[in-house]
Amino acid sequence: MFYNFKDIEKKWQSYWYEQKLFKTQEDRLKEKFYVLDMFPYPSASGLHVGHLEGYTATDITSRFKRMQGYNVLHPMGWDAFGLPAEQYALSTGKDPREFTYQNIVHFKKQIIESGKGIDWDREFATADSNYFKWTQWIFKKMYEHGLAVLKDVEVNWCEGLGTVLANDEIELIDGRMVSERGNYPVVKKAMRQWVLRITAYADRLLEDLEELDWPEYLKEMQRNWIGKSNGAMMTFSVDESDESFEVFTTRPDTIYGATYCVLAPEHPLILKVTTEDELSEVKKYIDATKQKNDMDRAMDKSKTGVFSGSYAINPLNHKRVPIWIADYVLPHYGTGAVMAVPAHDERDFEFAQIHGLDIVEVVQSDAEGAFTGDGKHFNSGIIDGLFNEAAKAKIIDYLEKTKQGYAHNTYKLRDWVFSRQRYWGEPFPVIYDEDDNIYILEDDELPLELPKLKNIRPSGTGESPLANAHDWLHVDYKGIKGRRDTNTMPQLAGSSWYFIGYILKHHLGMIPLDTEEAKKLLDKWLPVDLYVGGTEHAVGHLLYSRFWTKFLHDIGLLSVVEPFKKLFNQGMILGSDHSKMSKSKGNGVNPDEIFESHGADALRLYEMFMGPLDADKPWSEEGLNGAKKFLERVWRLFDFPIEQDEVQELRQSYHQTVKKVTEDYEKLAFNTAISQMMIFVNDVYKLQTIGKDQARGLLKLLNPICPHLTEEINQSILKQNEELIYSEWPTYDERYLIQDEVEIVVQVNGKLRARFTAKTDMDPESAKKMALEIPNVSKHVEGLTIRKIVHIPNKLVNIVAN
């Protein structure tokens, strides 16, 4: 028979979609399983084969779990707001809403054509008003609980894009900060912004990582991003001045080795402590720092800095130490000021060497350079002879008693700057009166929708294009003349709770988040059982989603405190040249073309067979052709006679295959599951026959990966009325996994001389006797004295002779 994949795949895709066969039922008798993809941003370029790698993996799992009897939820939606759409709109003159929703149509078509089984009744875009109504509502609740605050903060301002950018939207090129999108200059600027106080959840975000089934490297990335440090806060007074400043240190025990202090260029005390002679250089240095972002400042090995001209007083030994200004100290870590101990801090050591500053050892060691380990203290007054931990405790106790300091923790984590000066995003449900008093819209006034604007270019005033929407902007509200907030929320707002939105979405709309009905559904389905996506969201999206989940738990809407139980990062599919796929390199692969030339099943099979799911793998046309040939081989297999009874010679191979594939699907080890199915197919070809139950079992095992081919064979050839997607997963019998015969290796003095086949668990004496009777073995022991014979059951006979 000819395998007409084009007609077969279209037939089944239409059937699944029209019959809503993947619609999730609220079945209380079945255990739930929630499988989630990191939803795509619907760009004009459409999906690429890299998207489909992760999407296929989750689809395999959802189909597998459904056949195992779970009640599966597997939804899909669209991360529709954000800067990329707005920039595209500005460059083309198109309306961002119009072309975003056009792109969604194309994306959805591609996902359907990939064979992915989705409950489309739960589909939504973050730009849908019945969805972002609740994004605005969550913001409102955060405001009411003191977690959304308006304050002046230093931000990354991009004039070319007319908006604030997050650190991960910025690149450093030739020492200058530029936007990742468009390479526009970026500078530091103080602006009044909405900020979400994620720092209030820092400890919980750290502690709860321990309970998650996530890759350890990803958990470590979050730990580092949060960056909790235990230590002490202490006060340094400025010599010949009434001024003082606080420093945070994780090593208060090294206070006697502090030989200088450093203030961040943004520190409010700088101009007060800078002397007349140093003022010009200090101002130049501050201006230069504004061109750098925090990450580059922290990683910069050059350790630049300028002397302020003033001195501070060490609170323990009362020595004068110079006050320097350097950009390796960040304004928001600790206090923006550090005591520098170059003998026991690598960063301080490098700076001291470059600028010729004193280096005083206070912890004994034989190390060259900065010694940061544990050791006995000397030159250290009240802590001489103590090791690190005891010394820290004694110093903190002394600081607290003398009111010069106290025990303290700090975090690298910053509060989330939540305002964007753009049009295409969720508007803030906020009105200001003439005295800048804040009014938050009532629940029944949500959603606040965007006005239609012909001109969505940045205003040039630091406000978003919404400043041009006069009729929308100015309102009479509760008897006062008000003005709406012209900022919009960042793209990450909508993606911080979309996994909740799927649970509440149905074909008629969205179940209100603040209802008992919603609570029952959320308690049932959360947390997500499997979340698959790329590593690019390791801190931003994942951290913010965890933060929002904990907040919604705290106000009684969720029972869970973590959104994603198991997280898996798939690797990247590279171009055939082993580099990242991109338009500029011309090494990208369009899945639409593969659907046409090879079929969706072949693409799914190939991408899962390329290698481990979490590895980076190069694209290969030869490998894709091989996948298509295997499917044709499976198709032809059903030309063989199909016996009503089990084919005995296939029994062991079949049960081994069921066991291996089941275990590998659980581990997302799809490449090795496919290898095992190939072995079984080869065994069938050797015999040219297969039993009916064995044939249907093979189809069930292969169905999650290749659903179109298997459903067609099941219906058209095996004449089964029950779709495979709702059939019962095959089981294996342990009795048939035991091998009847094994191959035994025979060695003489450790060298391979022969092999023979024997019954499993043959008794040792019989195995030794059979080994000695083999001609090539007897030849190599002739004339020698056999000292001993080593027998390893079912594996080896080694004859030791001399």
| Whole-angstrom distance, CA of residue 542 vs CA of residue 537 | 6
DSSP conformation class of 514: T
Whether residue 10 is annotated as binding a ligand: the answer is no
Q: Say if strands 244-249 and 229-238 run parallel, antiparallel, or are unpaired.
A: antiparallel
Q: Say if strands 260-263 and 320-325 run parallel, antiparallel, or are unpaired.
A: parallel
Closest CA to 334 of 257, 238, 259, 267: 267
Where are the alpha helices (H) located in 212-278, listed in sequence order?
A: 216-226, 270-273
Closest CA to 68 of 729, 687, 574, 535: 729
| Whole-angstrom distance, CA of residue 376 vs CA of residue 372 | 12
What lies within 8 Å, CB to CB, of 195 at 6+ separation is 148, 149, 150, 151, 153, 415, 416, 417, 418
Task: Judge contact between 238 and 312, C-beta under 8 A.
Answer: yes
DSSP 3-state percent helix, strand, coil across the chain (nearest 5): 40, 20, 40
Q: How many CB atoms lie within 10 A of CB 762?
A: 17
797: left (phi over 0), alpha (psi -120 to 50) or beta: beta
Residue 106 in tokens:
């194309």
| Whole-angstrom distance, CA of residue 773 vs CA of residue 777 | 7
Beta bridge partners of 40: none
| Whole-angstrom distance, CA of residue 76 vs CA of residue 90 | 28
With 0-12 / 13-18 / 19 or more C-beta atoms within 10 angstroms meaning exposed / middle / buried, residue 634 is buried
CA dist list (Å): 379 to 116, 249, 258, 314: 69, 19, 12, 14
What lies within 8 Å, CB to CB, of 622 at 6+ separation is none
Residue 738 in tokens:
């035991």
Laid out side by side, the sheet with 186-196 consists of: 163-165, 148-158, 186-196, 416-417
DSSP conformation class of 416: E
What lies within 8 Å, CB to CB, of 636 at 6+ separation is 1, 3
State the sign of the Cα–Cα–Cα–Cα dihedral 419, 422, 426, 432. Answer: positive
Beta bridge partners of 759: 741
Q: How many CB atoms lie within 10 A of CB 127?
A: 24
Q: Report the SS3 class of residue 34.
A: strand
Task: Judge contact between 114 and 604, C-beta under 8 A.
Answer: yes
| Whole-angstrom distance, CA of residue 223 vs CA of residue 171 | 23
Upper half-sphere CA count for residue 221 (Cβ side, 13 Å): 14
Residue 468 in tokens:
């041009």
Q: Say if strands 32-37 and 71-73 run parallel, antiparallel, or are unpaired.
A: parallel
Task: Judge contact between 464 and 487, C-beta under 8 A.
Answer: yes
What 462-467 contacts at long range (C-beta under 8 Å, 24+ apart), as own/partner pairs, is 462/157, 462/191, 462/421, 463/421, 463/487, 464/162, 464/163, 464/420, 464/421, 464/422, 464/423, 464/488, 465/422, 465/423, 466/423, 466/427
Task: Judge contact between 477 and 460, C-beta under 8 A.
Answer: no
Where are the alpha helices (H) located in 703-756, listed in sequence order?
A: 707-712
Which residues contribute to the annotated binding site? 583
- What residues are designated binding site for ATP? 583
